[in-house]
């Protein structure tokens, strides 16, 4: 019996399958080739980035403002190839975060000056967050228990201080400083201790009782509530921080209080 028009010979199927497979292999080879080229290109640019970073670390601050823009412009090229940057994250993030931690300990005495040191460093770190993703970057953030109060103090200073230059085309670092500090807090609130036990302000508060919400927690909730009303990355990152904080076993009362505040606030807006 003659084959119908709908019938396709096995040989033809194999030929088409081979063609598809060959096309996929060519695409894979093209992708691999492009990645190898980008990797070689990044290795060449890494020498400049490393030199600029070494200068920042040795001085404990950004001395030449243009170095931040240079690092940022190089890293931005790899928005779609973050895996090329990831092997270098520790050597970039760890020393920069140690500067932030060190300077944050001086905030009480000269907050404006210290913030101007911290902001450009945060621009570099936040650029890495956009390239590699926050999960890859925060692995190299310091996470000692004592850092919790420092990070809250830093966020408080960032929250209450404005440079008044938000209309400039270039970033002033305010948004980046807030985002980096919120991300820092998102790992610090996971400390395996009752947060009230690391809040030194409680020792001076005779009215604080068992079951009360630690002042540190109240501050974090207040900042996050404000940032949830903003647009952009601060909203997303503050939501991440809240999810980490309010799901702690010792945060039941804080979670209830926060939900009530949101409900009351939402109800008032409809009156």
Q: What pLDDT digit, counting tens, does each position of 9-52 carry?
A: 555 556 666 555 555 555 555 556 667 887 888 888 999 999 99
Q: Are 97 and 41 in contact (CB under 8 A)?
A: no
d(CA 190, CA 95): 22
Q: What pLDDT digit, counting tens, does each position of 74-133 carry?
A: 999 999 899 999 999 999 999 999 999 999 999 988 889 999 999 999 999 999 999 999
Among positive and negative, which fits the CA dihedral 230, 236, 237, 241? positive
Q: Are 237 and 187 in contact (CB under 8 A)?
A: no
Of 114, 248, 125, the residue nearest 181 (C-alpha): 125
- Whether the per-residue pLDDT at 185 is higher than 80: the answer is yes
Reported in sequence order, the residue ranges of 100-151 that DSSP labels E, i.e. its strands, are none
Q: Cα-Cα-Cα-Cα dihedral of 190, 195, 197, 202, to 10°?
A: 150
The residue assigned the tokens 């691999």 is 32
Those residues whose C-beta lies under 8 Å from the C-beta of residue 141, and which sit 6 or more positions away, are 93, 97, 183, 184, 187
Q: What pLDDT digit, counting tens, does each position of 189-230 carry?
A: 998 888 888 888 876 666 666 667 888 998 999 999 899 988
Coil, strand or helix: which one is 4? Answer: coil
Those residues whose C-beta lies under 8 Å from the C-beta of residue 224, and which sit 6 or more positions away, are 182, 238, 239, 241, 242
* Residue 168 pLDDT grade (very low, low, confident, very high; cuts 50, 70, 90): very low
For residue 21, give both structure tokens: 């497979």
Provide the whole-model pTM.
0.80
């Amino acid at each position: 019996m003659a084959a119908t028009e709908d019938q396709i010979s096995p040989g033809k199927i194999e030929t088409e399958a081979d063609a598809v497979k060959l096309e996929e292999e060519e695409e894979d080879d093209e992708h691999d080739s492009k990645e190898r080229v980008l990797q070689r290109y990044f290795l060449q640019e890494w020498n400049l980035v490393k030199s600029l970073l070494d200068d920042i670390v040795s001085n404990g601050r950004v001395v030449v403002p243009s170095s931040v823009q240079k690092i940022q412009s190089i890293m931005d090229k790899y928005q779609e190839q973050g895996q090329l940057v990831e092997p270098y994250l520790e050597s970039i993030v760890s020393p920069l975060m140690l500067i932030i931690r060190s300077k944050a300990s001086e905030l009480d005495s000269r907050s404006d000056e210290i913030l101007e040191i911290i902001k450009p460093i945060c621009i570099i770190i936040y650029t890495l967050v956009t390239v590699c993703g926050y999960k890859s970057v925060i692995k190299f953030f310091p996470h000692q228990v004592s850092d919790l109060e420092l990070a809250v103090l830093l966020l408080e200073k960032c929250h209450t201080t404005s440079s008044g230059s938000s209309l400039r085309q270039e970033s002033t670092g305010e948004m980046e400083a807030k985002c980096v500090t919120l991300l820092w807090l998102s790992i610090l609130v996971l400390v395996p201790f009752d947060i009230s036990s690391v809040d030194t302000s409680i020792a001076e508060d005779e009215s604080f009782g068992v079951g009360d919400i630690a002042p540190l927690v109240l501050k974090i909730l207040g900042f996050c509530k404000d940032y949830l009303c903003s647009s952009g990355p601060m909203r997303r990152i503050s939501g991440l921080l809240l999810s980490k904080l309010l799901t702690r076993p010792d945060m039941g009362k804080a979670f209830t209080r926060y939900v009530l505040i949101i409900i009351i606030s939402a109800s008032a807006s409809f009156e």
